[in-house]
Amino acid sequence: MTTERLLPAIDLHSAPFWEGTTHGELRVQRCAACGHLRFPPRPFCPVCTSDAVQWRAMAGTGSIWSFVVVHPPVLEAYLPFAPYNVIVVELDEDPAIRMVGNLVSASSTVPNSVDRAELAVGRRVRVVFDTIEGVALPLWTLV
Amino acid sequence: MKDATAIVGIGQTPFAKELAGTEVALACRAIRAALADAGIAPSEVDGLASYTLEPLVEMDVARNLGFSDVRFFSQVGYGGGAGCAVVGHAAMAVATGHARVAVAWRSRKRGSAENRPWANVEQVIEGHPAWSRPWGLLRPADEVAMMTRRSMHEYGLTRDHLANVALAARKHANRNPDAVMYERPLTREQYFAARWISEPLCLFDNCLESDGAVACVVVSAEQARDCRQAPVYVHAYAQAISPQLQPMTNFFCPDPLRGPAWNCARDLWAGADFGPGDVDVVQLYDAFTPLVLWSLEAYGFCGRGEAGDFSSASNLEWPGGSLPVNTSGGGLSEVYIHGFNLVTEGVRQIRGTSTNQVEDAQRCLVASAEGVPTSALLLSGSRP
């Protein structure tokens, strides 16, 4: 049982995504055979079963698909922020490509730095990055 | 396998916030009670079906209860999605002759805080939760809350609709002496005054944290006629994984609000001689209140996005409701053991022995969790 912020396991298939975030890029897998975009990363294209993969940098813009406000009890590392928001963003390039993140203010990466009243489905957002123990997590600010 | 098998015994432990004994012991008590209910000796059991989350292997049960010759054993994964599948696997084994007497069960100790899976994670998250937990979407309640907010946006679902589910379950539990919440009434005012867990879900949108075990016995329709109890036939059974499903965090497919329950429902009704309008009573997996509403839509009791309004006319409550739901109190108010108590309440309804008995109930739908690889059963009191 950890007392630290949770981090994603980075494996063969997800490494290019996390390499992208350290360079300020939001990369999504694109099937090299049929062009289908897919996320989260995995080895095969569900449309054509090809395992030939390209990575495409997304514009990093989208809109809030849904959101929650998390209240305690939570893991120790998340208590200082609670209650805090978690959002799901749909990307402009393909609304079926969605990512989990936090909505943060322009000046802070803390997931309770935005007023609760600002949270709404459909709000336009842009990606920013916050590095925790060497992993650059995508976060989102209001456009 | 339509009506080829029947549930002829049910058994359970007491249900409580905290029970003494291991999960193995609780499982054995429930199975022993179910066999006694059926009038079948433990030595006759040759098929076993359980959840993968069960921290025991089939051998432990077989050794404790003296099963002499086990020839079929199966486990089903994905927690709350597994309940009906466990019974379904037992029924398939009996229908195909791989077993003659199959027992299915779920035993669970979840009441104490140290047993909560979300609190016992390592820092580096493997697998699909790596794409949600680092941002603080930590608990099942947070994951369901995300789908609930979207449902409010798309369908106009409200907290009043969610309260309808919580209050119906509590009213049923208040008439069920076995329920953990038997003596604890709940008002709409209390619902709205409760603390948030994950907005838009409050405390009473969440199931109980409780201990208990439940079991049932499945035999062939022929053998069922010689058992002590009236047979409850397994009329139809289905199991489903929907396209691109990611369990609990099903945000990554084109239409997240159309989860695996929709696929499961299609196959279930295709295998049945009757439809949703012919069902007398339903038991729907309810770890969280919105799951009940989504399941009502998926299984065809109302249109997509209409379950909120459907819940508003007290339709879900017994007595008086057009479609009583979770008549034992379910996971919200009877006991939370991954939905297996929904199966036994379905059996009691067909037998006519529920404490919230729907008059002359002959057909019951039992459905496991929407949002994870799931399963469903149609139970029937008579062979057509």
Q: Domain locations in chain A?
A: 9-58, 59-143
Handedness of CA B15, B21, B23, B29 (dihedral sign): negative
Which residues in chain B are contacts of A84 at CB distance < 8 A? 136
> Stretch A129-141: mean pLDDT, rounded?
96
| pLDDT for the residue B55 | 67
Contacts of A134 (CB under 8 A, 6+ apart): none
Q: Quick check: helix, strand or coil at residue B52?
A: coil
Tell whether omega for the bond before B276 is within 30 degrees of 0, i.e. cis. no
Interchain CB distance below 8 Å, B253 and A96:
yes
Q: Which candidate from A6, A88, A122 shows the least CB-CB separation from B123?
A: A6
Whether the Cβ atoms of residue B213 and residue B337 lie closer than 8 Å to each other: yes
Query: What ipTM, to 2 d.p.?
Result: 0.98
Among B104, B42, B14, residue whose Cα is nearest residue B335: B14
What tokens appear for B315 in the block?
A: 């339709």
The band of A1, judged by pLDDT with boundaries at 50, 70 and 90, is low
Q: What is the DSSP letter of B317?
A: S
CB pairs under 8 A between A and B: 120
CA separation for the pair B41, B351 (Å, rounded): 22
CA distance B141 to chain A (A): 9
Buried (b) or exposed (e) across B100-116, using 16+ Cβ within 10 A? bbbbbbbbbbbbeeeee
CA separation for the pair B110, B94 (Å, rounded): 31
Which residues in chain B are contacts of A71 at CB distance < 8 A? 195-199
Count how many Cα atoms sit within 13 Å of the Cα of residue B160 in the half-sphere of its side chain.
7
Whether the pLDDT of residue A107 is over 80: the answer is: yes
Among B320, B375, B384, B338, residue whose Cα is nearest residue B172: B320
Handedness of CA B161, B292, B169, A66 (dihedral sign): negative
CA separation for the pair A140, A124 (Å, rounded): 10
Q: Give me the long-range contacts of B86-90 (CB less than 8 A, separation at least 24).
A: B86/B49, B86/B50, B86/B51, B86/B340, B87/B7, B87/B49, B87/B216, B87/B218, B87/B234, B87/B237, B87/B343, B87/B377, B88/B234, B88/B237, B88/B238, B88/B239, B88/B375, B88/B377, B89/B49, B90/B5, B90/B47, B90/B48, B90/B49, B90/B218
What tokens appear for B13 in the block?
A: 């432990």
Amino acid at A101: G
CA separation for the pair B165, B173 (Å, rounded): 12
Whether the Cβ atoms of residue B70 and residue B46 lie closer than 8 Å to each other: yes
Could you please state the CATH topology (level 3) that the domain comprising A59-143 is classified under. Answer: OB fold (Dihydrolipoamide Acetyltransferase, E2P) (2.40.50)
Chain B residue closest to A76 (CA)? B119
Cβ-in-10-Å burial (0-12, 13-18, 19+) of B321 comes to middle
Tell whether omega for the bond before A46 is within 30 degrees of 0, i.e. cis. no
The angle, 0 to 180 degrees and rounded to 10, between the axes of the packed helices B159-173 and B289-298 is 100
Distance between alpha carbon A113 and the CA centroid of its chain, in Å?
Answer: 17
Whether the pLDDT of residue A30 is over 60: the answer is: yes
Count CB-CB contacts under 10 A for residue B75. Answer: 17
Q: What angle do CA B373, B145, B298 make, to 5 degrees?
A: 45
Q: Quick check: helix, strand or coil at residue A106?
A: coil
CA separation for the pair A21, A13 (Å, rounded): 15
Pairing of strands A7-8, B124-125: parallel
Whether the Cβ atoms of residue B340 and residue B185 lie closer than 8 Å to each other: no
Chain A residue closest to B132 (CA)? A100
Interchain CB distance below 8 Å, A2 and B122:
yes
Cβ-in-10-Å burial (0-12, 13-18, 19+) of B97 comes to exposed
| Prediction pTM value | 0.97
CA distance B148 to chain A (A): 9
B78 carries an active-site annotation: no
Interchain CB distance below 8 Å, A96 and B132:
no
Q: Quick one: which H or E segment has residue A21?
A: helix A15-22
Interchain CB distance below 8 Å, A9 and B125:
yes
| pLDDT for the residue B358 | 98
CA separation for the pair A80, B360 (Å, rounded): 55
Please list the rounded mean pLDDT of every run of 10 residues in chain B (384 residues). Answer: 97 95 93 98 97 81 95 94 97 98 93 74 93 97 98 98 98 98 98 98 97 97 95 98 96 96 98 98 98 98 97 94 98 97 98 98 98 98 74
Handedness of CA B167, B169, B171, B174 (dihedral sign): negative
Interface test mutation site (partner B, options A88, A90, A133, A137, max chain B beta carbons within 10 A) = A88
Interchain CB distance below 8 Å, A81 and B136:
yes
Query: Residue A93 phi/psi, 5° resolution?
Result: -65, -30
What tokens appear for B200 in the block?
A: 């838009």
Whether the Cβ atoms of residue B51 and residue B82 lie closer than 8 Å to each other: yes
Which residues in chain A are contacts of B243 at CB distance < 8 A? 46
Q: Where are the beta strands (DSSP E) in chain A?
A: 7-8, 26-31, 37-38, 53-58, 61-70, 84-91, 94-101, 124-132, 135-142
Interchain CB distance below 8 Å, B149 and A66:
yes
B336 carries an active-site annotation: yes
Cβ-in-10-Å burial (0-12, 13-18, 19+) of B136 comes to buried
Distances (CA, A) of B135 to A38, A101, A130, B279: 20, 6, 11, 42
Interchain CB distance below 8 Å, A7 and B121:
no
| pLDDT for the residue B56 | 63
Distance between alpha carbon B222 and the CA centroid of its chain, in Å?
Answer: 27
